[in-house]
Amino acid sequence: MNTLTRKFQSAITMPDLNHFVTVTTAAKSLKFHPETVRRLVRDGILTGQKWGKEWLVLKSSVEEYIKKTGDNKHNSRRK
């Protein structure tokens, strides 16, 4: 294994998956469409991280968002 390969492998660190959920799981919890969850992550409203082609959303940010805005899908304060 050459030096470049070792540097590349050490630079990629897998997030601790116990603290993250998939966009689909977050969307079900929030009662949103998955694309809305991706937008909320991109806009910085939810905390997440892109891993490969998939977004992973921090569980605590989903829980905090529900506490802040409520669980009602039709609440006008939910963005």
Q: Which residues, 6 or more positions from 19, have their beta carbon under 8 angstroms from its beta carbon?
A: 58, 59, 60
- Total of domains in the chain: 1
Mean pLDDT of 4-14: 54
**Average pLDDT along the chain:** 81
Residue 22: give the domain boundaries: 15-69
- Is 75 within a domain? no
- Helix axis angle, 59-69 relative to 23-30, nearest 10°? 20
Percentage of the chain lying above the pLDDT 90 cut: 52
- Residue 31: CATH number of its domain: 1.10.10
DSSP state for residue 52 in the 8-state scheme: T
pLDDT band at 76 (very low <50, low <70, confident <90, very high): very low
- Is 53 within a domain? yes
Q: What is the per-residue pLDDT across 20-53, written as a single tens digit (0 to 9) for each? A: 999 999 999 999 999 999 999 999 999 998 888 8
- Is 10 within a domain? no
The predicted structure's pLDDT at residue 75: 58
